[in-house]
Amino acid sequence: MKSISNNIEIQKSDKTYNISMFIGIVFSLLTTILCEMFFNSIDLGPKNIDFISRVTVVFLTIFSIYGFYVRSSIKKDLKIKNFITIFMVLFLSIIVLKFFQFLTDALINEIQSSDYGFKLTSTELTLAFPMATGALLIQSVMNTRMAAMFVFIWSAIIGFYFVDTIFLFLFTISSSLVAVSSVVKVRSRGVYLRAGLNIALLSIPFSLIILLSSESFVYIDFLICIFSGLLGGLFCYLIASGLTPILEHLGNYVTDMRLIEIATLDHPLLNELSIQASGTWNHSMVMGMMGEMASDLVGANPVLVRTGAYFHDIGKIKKTMYFIENQQGEDNPHDKLTPSMSALIIKSHVKEGVEMAQKYKLPSLVIDMIKEHHGTSLIEYFYNKALNDQKDNAEEVDELLYRYPGPKPQSKEAGILMLADCIEASVRALPEHTKDNIQVLVKKMINKIFAAGQLDECDLTLNDLYKIAGSFVKTLTGIYHQRIAYVDNKESNVNTILK
Ligand SMILES: [Fe+2]
Ligand SMILES: [Fe+2]
């Protein structure tokens, strides 16, 4: 059985690879045509060897960089929309470059024709070109792998068409890589400012290279280079921060910034959850803290886990009192229902949550977290109750009625969310929140979920589970220690007042 499924997997990955290679041919061809249109006039004369050889070299260079990245990329990167976005960003980068070339040519002519007392060279002004903008955009909406692919294709194009000036090629590749490494985690628009500043700083060694290689060293030239570098950083910052939301919207990309924007009480769903179901909201916030801390240790996205935690139980808004965390000592409505009816109501919070999330157009990544947070797990309490009620006919109890429909968690983030969900609820029910009690319970719950096969389809390894357990214990111990300290403090204050 295993070898058959392995064969299917290999066939599937071969198919994905073939499709990706076909996309690569189209992508490389279109990019080559684009470059020829803007950097060289197309001449289709039959004996024009120059054109044929140029196009062949450009095509093969782009295609080989593409092929290398397809081979080393993960499947989720290889989406047609990603290559359309990269093509559009390349197109935009070429337009911006042409525009800045036009501006600098006009400026140089103006300075030359009038007597301002100094001269400008195109190399000095090159530092003001926002060559790293495209890399910043791709890094913001995709990831470092795809941004690196963009950087190498873009730099190869510059190196090939601006063969007279190696300087522009070096500046493009280094400023783009600096930009990408400055925005590894895009948690606020401020990161673009940091990237812009880093690009401006990079222009200092480039300014020195220009000065040392020029025959007539003039002090003002150095100032012009530094000023150009500052402008280049500023342009990168302005263009990238302005265009990222447009790219997010057009390509339906979910950036960390978008997640941060929706994961606040300003969002109507979270606002309603916090008012209608304060117990669930409290549970979601604690889960958010647990998930965020653990994600960093296992290479998952902490912002996605926190946002998923806040929204995972929004489906409970419709029937808040059927969930234990909102009952607060009041009558339990499940007492009047059969176990199967109770299970149906409990299960429905996932479906209703997904519908509400779709209605409010939450990102698909967050909707997946809602769908997957219970996997296909069993609602044990009501299943056992049903078995008890049907002692003599236990085989008549249909287990499927008491199972969530799934799917099981498909990503590290959804796996962490499932663990945090079960563990937070269990730890809350502990009579005493000592570190030992929490530690034992966390370990027991993780083992149970793992043994039930709920983590089979996500990428969490045993080592990840070990790290997650440690992090959960640390977070939960911290939370309950603070609560105990707060209650102790409050009681001693009350006693002081009474005395
Ligand atoms: Fe839930
Ligand atoms: Fe939950």
Q: What distance in angstroms lies between residue 305's CA and the mean position of ligand 2's atoms?
A: 13
Q: In the chain, where are the structural domains located?
A: 2-253, 257-498
CA of residue 73 to ligand 2 center, whole Å: 34
Dist. CA 426 → ligand 1 center (Å): 13
For the CA of 287, the nearest ligand:
2
**How many whole angstroms from 29 Cα to the centroid of ligand 2?**
49
Gap from CA of 76 to ligand 1 centroid (Å): 27
CB 106 within 8 A of CB 120: no
- The three-state secondary structure class of 470 is helix
Question: If you measure from the C-alpha of residue 377 to the centroid of ligand 2, how many angstroms do you get, rounded to a whole number?
Answer: 13
For the chain, how far is it from start to end, CA to CA, in angstroms? 76
Measured distance CA(420)–CA(370) in Å, rounded? 13
pLDDT at 497 over 70: no
pLDDT range class, residue 438, cuts 50, 70, 90: very high
User: Is residue 12 pLDDT above 60, yes or no?
Assistant: no
Kindly write down the DSSP assignment for every residue of 127-191, as one continuous string. TTS-TTHHHHHHHHHS-HHHHHHHHHHHHHHHHHHTTT-HHHHHHHHHHHHHHHHHTSS--STHH
State pTM to two decimals.
0.78
pLDDT of residue 8: 46
Going from the Cα of 415 to the center of ligand 2, the distance in angstroms, rounded, reads 13
Span from the CA of 22 to the centroid of ligand 1 (angstroms): 42
Q: Which residues contact 199 (CB under 8 A, 6 or more apart)?
A: 132, 175, 178, 179, 229, 232, 233, 236
72 exposure class (CB count in 10 Å sphere: 0-12, 13-18, 19+): exposed
Question: What is the number of the ligand closest to the CA of 353?
Answer: 1
Query: 84: buried, middle or exposed (CB in 10 Å: 19+, 13-18, 0-12)?
Result: middle
Q: Name the H helices within 263-334.
A: 268-276, 278-298, 302-311
Query: Which ligand gives the minimal distance to the CA of 350?
Result: 1
Contact between 312 and 283 under an 8 Å Cβ cutoff? The reply is no
Who surrounds ion ligand 2 at CB < 5 A?
Answer: 313, 421
Residues with CB under 5 A from ligand 1 (ion): 313
Q: Is the pLDDT of residue 2 over 60?
A: no
Is the predicted pLDDT of residue 7 greater than 70, yes or no? Answer: no
In degrees, rounded to 5, the angle at the alpha carbon of residue 307 between the alpha carbons of residues 302 and 308 is 95
Closest ligand to Cα 421: 2
pLDDT given at position 496 = 43
Q: How would residue 52 be classed by pLDDT, with cut points 50, 70 and 90?
A: confident
CATH of domain 257-498: 1.10.3210
For residue 299, the CA-to-ligand 2 centroid distance in Å is: 23
- What tokens appear for 320 in the block? 């808040």
Q: Find the ligand nearest to 352 CA.
A: 1
Ligand number nearest CA of 284 is 2
How close is the Cα of 168 to the center of ligand 2, in Å? 54
* DSSP category for residue 432: S
Whether 479 has a pLDDT exceeding 70, the answer reads yes
Among 73-82, 220-229, 257-266, where is mean pLDDT lowest? 73-82
Distance from the CA of 349 to the center of ligand 2, in angstroms?
10
> How far is 210 from 122, CA to CA, in rounded Å?
11
Task: Kindly state the DSSP code that residue 379 receives in the 8-state scheme.
Answer: -
**Token reading at 220:** 């003002």
- Distance, in Å, from the CA atom of 30 to the CA atom of 46, rounded to the nearest integer, reads 21
Among the bound ligands, name the one nearest to the CA of residue 326.
Answer: 2
Q: Report the candidate in 73, 287, 102, 303 with the shortest Cα–Cα distance to residue 185.
A: 303
The H or E element spanning position 306 is helix 302-311
Contact 248, 259 (CB under 8 A): no
Indicate which ligand has the atom closest to the C-alpha of 290. 2
The CA 446 to ligand 1 mean position distance, Å, reads 17
pLDDT tens per residue across span 330-370: 778 888 899 999 999 999 999 999 999 999 999 999 999 99
